[in-house]
């Protein structure tokens, strides 16, 4: 009984000190300069990573996959950071080397890597390398060919390579019928918006990942918005030809009978009309911004509107 009583002052002292440590920790954190530490890649070589993971390679692949996701998300939030997306490919390379069947890491990774700055590293060459690694490890997955064709079509502008990838994917057992037509259309009409729509529709049907599907659906909405903006630009041009001049506004176009209602994008955000030039733009705060640069216009070819 006496020993129990003797314990209390010590416990009380310990609790008091622990409670005192809390504000000290908060104070220390408050005085620390706000700096983002670079992602540390302890293991650089996939071969070494495979060996040191013993039989926990699959779990280590998961950890590198989560690190890749975190790195991508953090880099997007800190746009303009000097390191940028430097470690994204090594993370994905390690994840897919440790677990060579990690389908989502190949497919997701290729999309991440292709994304142009500031939203991504803009490295379609690395996306191609990652997908070719996936094809080597699982040649029966037609989805990798689809993604490879997609990267070539959308980001490198190599329609011949894109068509070749779609064609090879179509030859894979279990590939959907439209892969063959995708190959033909890409070769014949690569770069136009209709072909882009076909590609995104194909990707929107993917079952592999919810994010991929949602991203493809967003891209389709962006293409719809671009169609609408083209139509509105044509309408402004017609109004100009009929003698209408700056300042441009939707209200003025409405008053002259060119519009029946306020034009809104597929997400419901009103479009903007430049007061002096009459250029149609996405409204501020539209979740569809920034709109993608179309493959053919990127390559310097005039896009038919």
Partner 1 sequence: MKPRLIFAIAVNTFREAVRDRVFYNLLLFAVLLVGTSLVIGQLAAGQDVKIIKDLGLASSLLFGVGIAIFIGIQLVAREVERRSVYVTLAKPVTRSAFLFGKYLGLLLTLAVNMAVMTAALMTVLYVYWRVTPPNLQAVWTAPAVDPALLGALLLIYIELAVVTAIALLFSTYSSALLAATFTTAVWVAGHFVGDLRTLELVGASEGTASLGRVVSWVLPNLALFDVKAEVVHGVPVPLAQIAYAIAYGCTYAAALLLLAVAVFQRRDFK
272-273 vs 280-281, strand pairing mode: antiparallel
Q: Which of 102, 112, 90 is nearest to 61 (CA)?
A: 102
Contact 155, 114 (CB under 8 A): yes
> Tokens representing 161?
């390579």
Nearest distance, CB of residue 270 and partner 1, angstroms: 33
Residue placing its CB nearer to partner 1 in the complex, 99 or 265: 99
Nearest distance, CB of residue 114 and partner 1, angstroms: 17
Residue placing its CB nearer to partner 1 in the complex, 59 or 293: 59
Nearest distance, CB of residue 58 and partner 1, angstroms: 4
Residue placing its CB nearer to partner 1 in the complex, 45 or 238: 45
Nearest distance, CB of residue 40 and partner 1, angstroms: 18
> Tokens representing 148?
């490879």
Whole-angstrom distance, CA of residue 243 vs CA of residue 250: 16
Residue placing its CB nearer to partner 1 in the complex, 55 or 304: 55
Nearest distance, CB of residue 138 and partner 1, angstroms: 10
Q: Which residues contact 108 (CB under 8 A, 6 or more apart)?
A: 209, 211, 212
Beta bridge mates, 272: 281
Residue placing its CB nearer to partner 1 in the complex, 65 or 89: 65
Residues 125-161, buried b or exposed e (16+ Cβ, 10 A)? ebbbbbbebbbebeeebbbbbbbbbbbbbbbbbbbeb
Nearest distance, CB of residue 192 and partner 1, angstroms: 31
Residue placing its CB nearer to partner 1 in the complex, 51 or 305: 51
Nearest distance, CB of residue 64 and partner 1, angstroms: 12
Whole-angstrom distance, CA of residue 202 vs CA of residue 178: 8
Nearest distance, CB of residue 207 and partner 1, angstroms: 4
Dihedral pair phi/psi, residue 57, rounded to 5°: -65, -40
Residue placing its CB nearer to partner 1 in the complex, 61 or 126: 61
The footprint of partner 1 (CB under 8 A) covers 51, 54-59, 61-62, 65-66, 69-70, 99, 101, 103-104, 108, 207-211
Q: Which residues contact 203 (CB under 8 A, 6 or more apart)?
A: 146, 150, 212, 213, 215, 216, 219
Residue placing its CB nearer to partner 1 in the complex, 108 or 154: 108
């Amino acid at each position: 009984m006496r020993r129990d009583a003797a314990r209390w002052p010590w416990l009380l002292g310990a609790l008091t000190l622990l409670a005192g440590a809390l504000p000290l920790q908060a104070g220390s954190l408050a005085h620390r300069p706000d700096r983002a530490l670079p992602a540390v890649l302890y293991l650089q070589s996939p071969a070494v990573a495979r060996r040191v993971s013993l039989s926990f390679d699959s779990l280590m692949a998961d950890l590198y996959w989560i690190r890749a996701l975190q790195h991508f998300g953090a880099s997007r939030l800190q746009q303009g950071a000097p390191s940028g997306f430097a470690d994204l490919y090594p993370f994905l390379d390690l994840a897919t080397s440790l677990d060579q069947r990690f389908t989502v890491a190949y497919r997701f990774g290729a999309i991440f890597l292709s994304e142009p700055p500031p939203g991504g590293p803009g490295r379609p060459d690395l996306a191609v390398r990652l997908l070719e690694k996936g094809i080597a490890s699982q040649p029966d997955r037609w989805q990798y060919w689809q993604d490879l064709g997609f990267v070539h079509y959308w980001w490198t502008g190599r329609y011949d390579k894109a068509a070749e990838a779609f064609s090879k994917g179509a030859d894979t057992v279990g590939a959907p019928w439209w892969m063959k037509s995708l190959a033909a259309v890409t070769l014949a009409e690569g770069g136009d918006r209709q072909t882009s729509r076909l590609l995104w529709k194909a990707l929107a049907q993917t079952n592999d990942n919810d994010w991929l599907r949602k991203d493809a659906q967003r891209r389709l909405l962006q293409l719809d918005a671009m169609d609408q903006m083209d139509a509105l630009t044509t309408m402004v041009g017609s109004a100009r030809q009929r003698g209408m001049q700056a300042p441009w506004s939707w209200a003025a176009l409405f008053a002259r009978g060119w519009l029946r209602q306020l034009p809104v994008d597929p997400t419901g955000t009103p479009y903007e009309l430049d007061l002096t030039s009459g250029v149609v733009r996405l409204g501020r705060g539209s979740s569809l911004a920034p709109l993608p640069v179309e493959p053919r216009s990127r390559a310097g070819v005039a896009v038919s509107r």
